[in-house]
Structure 1
Amino acid sequence: VLCDLHLYSPLSSFPFHHLQNRPISLQIPLSLSPQHTKMEDLGLNAPHSMGTTIIGVTYKDGVILGADSRTSTGVYVANRASDKITQLTDNVYVCRSGSAADSQIVSDYVRYFLHQHTIQLGQPATVKVAANLVRLLAYGNKDTLQTGMIVGGWDKYEGGKIYGIPLGGTIIEQPFSIGGSGSSYLYGFLDQAWKDGMSKDEAEELVKKAVSLAIARDGASGGVVRTVIINEEGVTRNFYPGDQLPLWHEELEPQNSLLDIWGAAAASPVPMTE
């Protein structure tokens, strides 16, 4: 089936080159800093980048995908609540990292191909088919695309599956996969924390902890944490704002006043001294 999909739109004819070096026009006030910082100094003419921490984890009944929500243009945060987990079919989703434009157009084309696949066969595409379509696009345009993706989902043939497709078009089936700039801080954590046969609650808590740890350490990751749970029963989306995420290392608990910092009760004022 994969070999027939090129009839709809030859991969070699898709103009991926138009995504490169396209400036982004942003209306930024000149008073952004006291020195009237130039847009070039902030990298505001750079393409939108997902920055990103993305993760996919298998558990005993399915998979859980997770991501942060920060999209940046240079050092400027273009969107602090973006959704980096995109639906491909009813039962397959993809986590996107790297260039926002590249990952969006790849997702759109894969979704189109999978729709044609479903019409031809009369049944939903498997997770493996979706992942291989992403791989074909990534490999066929590896000199142009700047995006890494994680495909995850559930199907009746193989259950829950996670596939990592990094830059260049390699495809790797894994029990868990991570990507994006924040992934550098997570390999040791996940090697220690992931275990086979986790429950749904255990797996989702692991995803939350992993993304929040990357947010704490990686300047290109931030915002909220979004998760997508996919199993035989369907798909569940969850949203976790910053005040529902664990704090790490030297991070302080939120403080409301100097009384909290000093450890005094609000009803007991600190005595004044001369």
Structure 2
Amino acid sequence: MEKHYTDSKVKGVSTGTTILAAVFDGGVVIGSDSRASIGGDYISSKTMNKVIQVHDRIFCGIAGSLADAQAVTKAAKSHLSFHSVQMESPPLVVAAASVLKDLCYKNKEELQAGFMTAGWDRKKGPQIYVVALGGMLLNQQVTIGGSGSTYIFGYVDAKYKPNMTREECVQFATNALALAMGRDNVSGGVAHLVVITEKEVEHVVVPGDKLPRFHDE
């Protein structure tokens, strides 16, 4: 996860991740790598799933301090569960993103975590919202985050197109994560993908040895 420490003894040490979400025709894909690291190059876990479910058809990709992110998503999950009981219907994706935004903004001096929220709801269909560290909320069709994202902005700009098929979008997300993991030394492991549509939620795991290979590898 990505976090910058300011203590003089560990100044300059950081951790990393790669997360991504993209809307396609009828649904949305959200995914991440699986490597969690602390102390720069020290890898604490190779199997971390950074795509967290906060409601039936709403998921969050997390970047930043793992402890902070888990605390925020746990609080958001509880809030949304209570909200759905009150409203007698599933929460909207924007409602979930707004809960995360409020939690981040109210605790912006203490938290070091950012989120992307992706899901499907009855009102607007597939959606993606980005919640920045300070609590800013943005609606986007495709977004990337974490240290690995710096290597794939060009690929995402060139290859993403609206109204892709499910298969095209899954391949796009897999390629993007593979490219980031190939360049960013603190992103790696497997690719976790969640495909969310009106009919279903499908979890896809692409092992490291099954990820696409590119010419420089």
Same fold (TM over 0.5): yes
Matched, 1:52 2:17: yes
The one of 161, 167, 174 equivalent to 2:127 is: 161
Q: TM-score, normalised by structure 1?
A: 0.73
Question: Partner amino acid for 1:117?
Answer: H
1:111-151 CA distance string (max 9 Å, x none): 01001101111111010000011111111111111111110
In the alignment, which residue of structure 2 is the partner of 1:152?
Answer: 118
How far the C-alpha of 1:166 sits from its partner, in A, is 1.9
In the alignment, which residue of structure 2 is the partner of 1:91?
Answer: 57
In the alignment, which residue of structure 2 is the partner of 1:188?
Answer: 154
In the alignment, which residue of structure 1 is the partner of 2:171?
Answer: 205
Give the share of equivalent positions with the same residue, in percent: 38
Question: Partner amino acid for 1:56?
Answer: A
Matched, 1:62 2:62: no
Q: SS state of the match for residue 129, structure 1?
A: helix
Q: SS state of the match for residue 63, structure 1?
A: strand
Q: SS state of the match for residue 47, structure 2?
A: coil
Matched, 1:226 2:192: yes
In the alignment, which residue of structure 2 is the partner of 1:110?
Answer: 76
Inter-partner Cα distance in structure 2 for 1:174 and 1:61: 15
1:49-70 CA distance string (max 9 Å, x none): 5x21000000011100010000
Gaps of 5+ in 1: 1-20, 22-39, 252-274
Assess if the C-alpha contact under 8 Å between 1:52 and 1:182 holds in 2: yes
1:211-270 CA distance string (max 9 Å, x none): 01000111110100010000011100000011111112321xxxxxxxxxxxxxxxxxxx
Assess if the C-alpha contact under 8 Å between 1:166 and 1:179 holds in 2: no
Question: Partner amino acid for 1:208?
Answer: T
Inter-partner Cα distance in structure 2 for 1:188 and 1:166: 21
How far the C-alpha of 1:90 sits from its partner, in A, is 0.3
Report how many residues are paired: 209
Q: SS state of the match for residue 88, structure 1?
A: strand
In the alignment, which residue of structure 2 is the partner of 1:13?
Answer: none
Gaps of 5+ in 2: none
Matched, 1:137 2:103: yes
1:56-111 CA distance string (max 9 Å, x none): 00001110001000001112111001110000000100001110000000000000
Matched, 1:73 2:38: yes
Flag the structure with more relative contact order, 1 or 2, with Cα contacts below 8 A and sequence separation at least 6: 2
Assess if the C-alpha contact under 8 Å between 1:53 and 1:182 holds in 2: yes
Q: TM-score, normalised by structure 2?
A: 0.92
Inter-partner Cα distance in structure 2 for 1:250 and 1:189: 15
Deviates more, 1:165-174 or 1:222-231: 165-174
Inter-partner Cα distance in structure 1 for 2:98 and 2:215: 39
Inter-partner Cα distance in structure 1 for 2:216 and 2:120: 38
Question: Partner amino acid for 2:30?
Answer: L
